[in-house]
């Protein structure tokens, strides 16, 4: 007979009950509790052994407990973050390999329930070990000069960051990843940066905690990331062949991200407005390059999906009542903007327009007599960076339509070469942004030349026209490629068209 709490747990989330039941064996529980107690004992013994040397005769116990509290922070964060990520990826990869994940997809439970059961249940032994150390951790906080808010702030940041990386690890598996050590190592690489924000900094003379606006903005960014990762994970769980996010979701995602990015840039510190504008522009252009590369990957459907779309698009039904009465199908424009099986180039362009509107508005808000002369150059530099992203999207789509083995690997290789090789070649030739800023306008990182030649309006306009010319050629080629892809096999035989 199950006790009432376990019955309630089973009714609320059967998947969580399954995970807990499979992991909370007597032996596993004993090991987790023993290791937690042993770790606490070793930490206390180490601190007690240092008392005569570190604190001499006068012992300030509040400082001693503060050091102990910070040490527990540095132990718990890697344990829960890296350990949890490893266990989740290993568990899901095993279920994927054995085929049991498909059985879960067929169950009547909602995707949210199953995924939540995984997130809460798979690392349950790590949670148990952390819970055993909670009383000592809390006592160390109370006995130190830190306020109780530091204790709750630490666990708040820990939960937010772990949710982000746990969701990312689920998405990693649903995208085909199986290497638990790889995603754990990536999470470990972020630990120093995370710990710098999660650790408690104090001024011994003023005996107070210092908080920064940047931390709040970063927390907002991570919360937004959690929400959109959760949407992507649910989507890929329900349909492994779907794009990671829908086009509609991408518009909201990019709008939220750019607003948060703009708020972060407003907190960049500099000696003058020119320096702030330069630093903000370089940061925004660089971070958006990587964000849009991810977006391109997330919105790109599989080759077979594109082929089916090109071949059968005219048969799609418009579910709008007015359109049904009139007997209308889905228009090409509507499909390119909202359709989940259509090429993503138009959606990428819309996301770039959203980005441009938000960031240019931010640049104009900084308008001041001090930077009035370089406002236009800053806007043109931003347009240059967005043009390049659209070119990369078109090239990626062309490569994904190639009839080669593993087109995704080809896309990553070709795009990576296009982005990295030109600046490497220019650097080897001693053509730096400082010495030849106009040359760097034609590179893959044109925004690096802005601080050194912010008044180069004419070269920027020439570069923008060159970008648009290349983009036009790529779009025409992509259109022909899709039209060719949509031709049926019988039509190819009748017309004698070659593959």
- Per-residue pLDDT of the chain (499 residues), as tens digits, is 456 665 665 677 788 888 888 898 999 999 999 999 999 999 999 888 877 655 555 777 888 888 899 899 989 999 999 999 999 999 998 888 888 888 888 888 888 889 999 999 999 999 999 999 999 999 999 998 888 888 888 898 899 999 999 999 999 888 887 888 888 888 888 888 777 766 644 444 333 444 466 677 778 888 888 998 999 999 988 888 888 889 999 999 999 889 888 887 777 655 677 777 888 888 889 899 999 998 998 898 887 788 788 777 766 555 444 443 444 456 778 888 888 888 889 999 999 999 999 999 888 887 666 666 788 888 888 999 999 999 999 999 888 888 778 888 888 888 888 888 888 888 888 888 888 888 888 888 888 888 776 667 888 888 899 999 999 999 999 888 888 776 655 455 455 555 4
Domain boundaries, the chain: 10-237, 241-488
pLDDT of residue 176: 82
Token reading at 411: 């896309």
pLDDT digits (tens, 9 = 90+) for 259-268: 888 887 777 6
Classify residue 212 as exposed, middle or buried by CB count within 10 Å of its CB (0-12, 13-18, 19+): exposed
Whole-number pLDDT of residue 387: 92
For 306-364, write each residue's pLDDT tens digit.
878 877 776 655 544 444 344 445 677 888 888 888 888 999 999 999 999 999 988 88
Q: What pLDDT does residue 203 have? A: 41
pLDDT at position 28, please? 92
The pLDDT, as a whole number, for residue 323 is 43
- Here the tokens at position 194 are 């995370």
* 403 token code pair: 């009839």
Q: What is the pLDDT of residue 473?
A: 94
Predicted local distance difference test score (pLDDT) of residue 327: 43
């Amino acid at each position: 007979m199950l006790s009432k709490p376990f019955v309630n747990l089973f009714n609320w989330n059967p998947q969580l009950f399954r995970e807990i039941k499979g992991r909370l064996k007597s032996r596993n529980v004993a090991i987790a509790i023993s290791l937690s107690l042993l770790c606490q004992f070793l930490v206390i013994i180490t601190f007690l052994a240092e008392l005569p040397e570190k604190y001499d005769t006068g012992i300030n116990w509040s400082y001693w407990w503060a050091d102990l509290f910070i040490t527990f922070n540095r132990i718990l964060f890697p344990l829960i973050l890296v350990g949890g990520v490893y266990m989740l990826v290993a568990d899901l990869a095993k279920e994927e390999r054995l085929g049991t994940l498909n059985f879960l997809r067929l169950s009547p439970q909602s995707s949210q329930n199953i995924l939540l059961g995984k997130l809460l249940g798979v690392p349950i032994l790590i949670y148990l070990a952390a819970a055993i150390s909670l009383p000592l951790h809390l006592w160390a906080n109370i006995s130190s000069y830190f306020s109780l808010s530091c204790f709750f702030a630490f666990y708040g940041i820990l939960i937010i960051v772990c949710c982000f990386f746990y969701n990312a690890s689920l998405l990693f598996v649903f995208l085909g990843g199986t290497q638990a050590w790889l995603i754990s190592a990536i999470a470990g690489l972020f630990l120093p940066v995370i710990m710098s924000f999660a650790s408690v900094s104090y001024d011994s003379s003023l005996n107070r905690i210092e908080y920064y606006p940047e931390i709040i903005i970063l927390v907002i960014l991570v919360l937004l990331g959690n929400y959109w990762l959760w949407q992507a994970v649910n989507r890929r769980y329900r349909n492994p062949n779907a794009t990671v996010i829908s086009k509609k979701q991408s518009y909201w995602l990019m709008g939220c991200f750019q607003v948060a990015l703009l708020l972060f840039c407003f907190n960049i510190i500099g000696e003058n407005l020119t320096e702030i504008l330069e630093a903000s522009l370089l940061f925004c252009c660089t971070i958006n390059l990587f964000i849009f590369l991810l977006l391109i990957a997330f919105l790109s459907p599989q080759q077979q999906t594109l082929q089916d779309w090109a071949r059968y698009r005219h048969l799609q039904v418009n579910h709008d009542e007015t359109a049904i009465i009139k007997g209308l199908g889905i228009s090409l424009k509507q499909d390119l903007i909202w359709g989940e099986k259509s090429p993503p180039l138009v959606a990428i362009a819309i996301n770039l327009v959203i980005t441009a509107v938000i960031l240019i508005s931010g640049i104009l808000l900084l308008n001041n007599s001090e930077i009035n002369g370089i406002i236009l150059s800053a806007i043109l530099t931003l347009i240059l960076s967005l043009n390049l992203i659209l070119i990369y999207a078109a090239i990626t789509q062309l490569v994904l339509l190639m009839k080669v083995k593993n087109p995704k690997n080809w896309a990553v290789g070709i795009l990576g070469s296009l982005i990295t090789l030109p600046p490497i070649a220019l650097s080897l030739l001693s053509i730096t942004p400082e010495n030849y800023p106009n040359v760097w306008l034609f590179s893959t990182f044109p925004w690096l030349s802005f601080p050194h030649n912010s008044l180069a309006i004419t070269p920027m306009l020439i570069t923008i026209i060159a970008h648009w010319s290349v983009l036009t050629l790529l779009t025409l080629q992509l259109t022909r490629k899709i039209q060719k892809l949509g031709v049926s096999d019988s039509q190819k035989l009748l017309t004698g068209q070659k593959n």
